[in-house]
Amino acid sequence: MTAREPVRALRQAARPRIGLTLDAGDDGGPYLLGRAYVAAVAAAGGLPLLLPHEPALAGDYLAGLDGLVVTGGAFDVPPELYGEARRQGCGPTRPERTAAELALLQGALEGGLPVLGVCGGMQLLAVARGGTLFQDLVCDAGLSGHEQPPPKDVPSHPVQVQAGTWLAALVGAGPLPVNSTHHQGLRTAGDGVKVVATAPDGLIEAIELDGEVFALGVQWHPEAALRHEPRHAAIYRGLVDAARRK
């Protein structure tokens, strides 16, 4: 056995490296991330790695990853990214974070890296493919009931998962109870994007990108809801399994 063989064996047995985007204000404050994201990736067999807001280094970060999770947060995708002016009801934005996430997301998609977009991460995934958003569901679409009060992890409405999709292969086709913590939502899904789950009011709740590489976005927070509905854990397992096959 050579000196390099133990290192090679360790690499072969290593968990897939899954990058997680972080939250932070644009004021130089600390990076933040809910522990549930890390726990969900680790429980699915992945190695969670945290990604700071450095758009210029996106390619370097992606070179060391096997998969990417674009996380959610209490902020909005800037409407300028989908060709609209800000309207009443649009909330605060995080330009620094969004620039970093968009660079990571576009690089991952171009490089064939498996991707999961969660809540705002799903919205950014759609916008990256030319999709548009309701800046506020109540103001723009007359839709309420998508921003539930605490506790935020308890499922508050069902979605209908379409058969024959990656999502259905993971959680099953038909009704799935989800939590709902967003005031924006998808108006149009974008180029090469399939709608794979909807709420009872018709709002888009999950999307997948055409192609052979795993690229899924969900409007809810499966890492939180899995405490009450174990099927949600399969969404993170799907990402990690795809990263392992990469």
Task: With beta carbons less than 8 A apart as the criterion, state whether 116 and 62 touch.
Answer: no
Domains of the chain by start residue, with CATH: 15-245 (3.40.50.880)
Instruction: Quote the CA–CA distance of 61 and 221 in Å, as a whole number.
Output: 24
The confidence score (pLDDT) of residue 1 equals 47
Nearest Cα residue to 116 out of 101, 131, 130: 101
The confidence score (pLDDT) of residue 7 equals 45
The confidence score (pLDDT) of residue 28 equals 80
Please report the DSSP string for 155-208 in residue order. --EEEEEPTTSHHHHHH-SEEEEE--B-S-EEEE--TTEEEEEE-TT--EEEEE
The confidence score (pLDDT) of residue 5 equals 56
Q: Which helix (H) or strand (E) holds 62?
A: helix 58-63
Q: Compute mean pLDDT per 10 residues along the chain, 246 residues long, and list them.
A: 52 85 88 97 98 97 98 96 95 96 98 98 98 97 96 97 98 98 97 98 97 96 98 98 94
Instruction: Quote the CA–CA distance of 93 and 108 in Å, as a whole number.
Output: 23
For the entire predicted model, the pTM comes to: 0.94
For tokens 């759609």, name the residue. 126
**Looking at the annotation, which residues are catalytic?**
119, 221, 223
Task: With beta carbons less than 8 A apart as the criterion, state whether 184 and 123 touch.
Answer: yes
Q: What distance, in Å, lies between the first and last C-alpha atoms of the chain?
A: 28
C-alpha separations of 246 from 111, 115, 213, 236, 241 in Å? 11, 12, 9, 15, 9
What is the dihedral sign for C-alpha 85, 110, 26, 57?
Answer: negative
One-letter amino acid of 199: A
Burial grade of 142 (CB within 10 A; 0-12, 13-18, 19 or more) = exposed
Task: With beta carbons less than 8 A apart as the criterion, state whether 234 and 6 touch.
Answer: no
